[in-house]
């Protein structure tokens, strides 16, 4: 028993050391990635379900690792959060999104807004309002073309600070949305104190709208809730025309998902704009 206990302890510390080393290596890789421009943004179109026009694109980061190939955000954003690197990465995403949006505007594309994901640390541990202001100014992007997506879990971390920060951000003239709505633990009573414009129905509920009554009920109540509060609502992860038709018939304002388009690189996004408008 004693030997076993000792072994499992050794195993445990080894695991921790491995994890610490892994984190350090990755953190070092991420520093290098920013310098070497190995991060890239993909853009996923969002459309209006009223007139089918393009209303926005969501910026989604990808890491083109020199040895490991393309790494999806799920494999490094949590680590970047843990190590604090997310502040630097998030700042880059914001800058690059504003630069790209301005370029598209100058080329005459009417894509609406570019939506940028904010992480918890970025929202709470850095002067996010200053960062956003600087990004808009340095690329001369009119604020109405920028949207920030924050999750419910970010929002409830420190309610009073969140309310203040959202107010400040809103006063810049940008749009704000609550991402993955319904998956967190947010109390609905706070929602009305947040200066937000839109709720994003999480993919997990969209997946269920044609499968069970519960899924449909969550989606339709979110739409009703949003509208009663004067907010817009967008559904994410829309994969089929049936889901799209359901959402449309239940007055959901906007949709995003593989049914409309997968996330695309910059040049494919431009091609999407060109072809979509010709249809
Ligand atoms: P999210 O914000 O919920 O982004 C939506 C994710 O769903 C994206 O995955 C997108 O590619 C995927 N998706 C969109 N439509 C469909 C669909 O119809 N079917 C399916 N199966 N998937 C769909 P992605 O790009 O891998 O991003 C995953 C998560 O990583 C994002 O979830 C977001 O939380 C985070 N993330 C991505 N980019 C950034 C970033 O720049 N900053 C921060 N802080 N987080 C980011
Ligand atoms: Ca998002
Ligand atoms: Ca989402
Ligand atoms: Ca989601």
Ligand 1 mean position, distance from CA 103 (Å): 23
pLDDT confidence of residue 189: 78
Q: Which residues line ligand 1 (CB under 6 A)?
A: 44, 59-61, 72-74, 77, 90, 93, 117, 119, 179-180, 236-239, 257-258, 263
Lowest-confidence region among 36-40, 212-216, 234-238: 212-216
Best residue among 62, 91, 117 to mutate for probing ligand 1's pocket (most ligand atoms within 8 Å of CB) is 117
pLDDT in tens, 9-66: 555 566 667 778 877 888 888 889 988 999 999 999 999 999 999 999 999 999 999 8
pLDDT in tens, 173-213: 999 999 999 887 666 778 889 999 999 999 999 999 999 88
List the residue whose alpha carbon is closest to atom 22 of ligand 1: 237
pLDDT confidence of residue 279: 62
List the residue whose alpha carbon is closest to atom 44 of ligand 1: 119
Confidence (pTM):
0.92
DSSP symbols for the chain: -HHHHHHHHHHHHHHHHHHHHHHHHHHHHHHHHHHTT-EEEEEEEEEETTT--EEEEEEEEEEEETTTEEE-GGGTHHHHHHHSTHHHHHHHHHHHHHHHHHHHHHTT----EEEEE--HHHHHHS-HHHHHHHHHHHHT--GGGEEEEEEHHHHHHTHHHHHHHHHHHHHTT-EEEEEEETSS---HHHHTTS---EEEE-HHHHHHTTT-HHHHHHHHHHHHHHHHTT-EEEE----SHHHHHHHHHTT--EE-STTT---B-HHHHHHHHHHHHH-
């Amino acid at each position: 028993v004693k030997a076993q206990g000792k072994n499992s302890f050794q195993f445990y510390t080894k695991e921790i050391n491995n994890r610490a080393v892994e984190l350090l290596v990755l953190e070092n890789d991420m520093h290098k990635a920013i310098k070497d421009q190995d991060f890239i943004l993909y853009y996923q179109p969002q459309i209006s379900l009223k007139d089918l026009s393009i209303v926005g694109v969501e910026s989604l980061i990808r890491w083109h690792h020199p040895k490991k190939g393309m790494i999806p955000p799920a494999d490094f954003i949590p680590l970047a959060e843990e190590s604090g690197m997310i502040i630097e990465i998030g700042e880059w995403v914001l800058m690059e999104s504003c630069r790209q949006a301005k370029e598209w505007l100058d080329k005459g594309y009417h894509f609406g807004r570019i939506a940028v994901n904010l992480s918890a640390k970025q929202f709470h541990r850095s002067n996010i309002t200053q960062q956003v202001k600087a990004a808009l100014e340095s690329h001369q992007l009119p604020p109405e073309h920028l949207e920030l997506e924050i999750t419910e879990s970010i929002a409830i971390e420190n309610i009073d600070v969140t309310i203040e920060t959202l107010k400040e951000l809103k006063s810049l003239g940008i749009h704000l949305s609550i991402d993955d709505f319904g998956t967190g633990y947010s109390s609905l009573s706070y929602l009305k104190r947040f200066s937000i414009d839109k709720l994003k129905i999480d993919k997990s509920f969209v997946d269920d709208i044609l499968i069970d009554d519960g899924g449909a009920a969550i989606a339709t109540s979110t739409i009703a809730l949003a509208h009663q509060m004067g907010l817009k609502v967008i559904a994410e992860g829309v994969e089929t025309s049936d889901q799209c038709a359901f959402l449309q018939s239940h007055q959901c304002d906007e949709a995003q998902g593989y049914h409309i388009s997968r996330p695309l690189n910059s040049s494919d996004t431009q091609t999407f704009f060109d072809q979509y408008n010709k249809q």
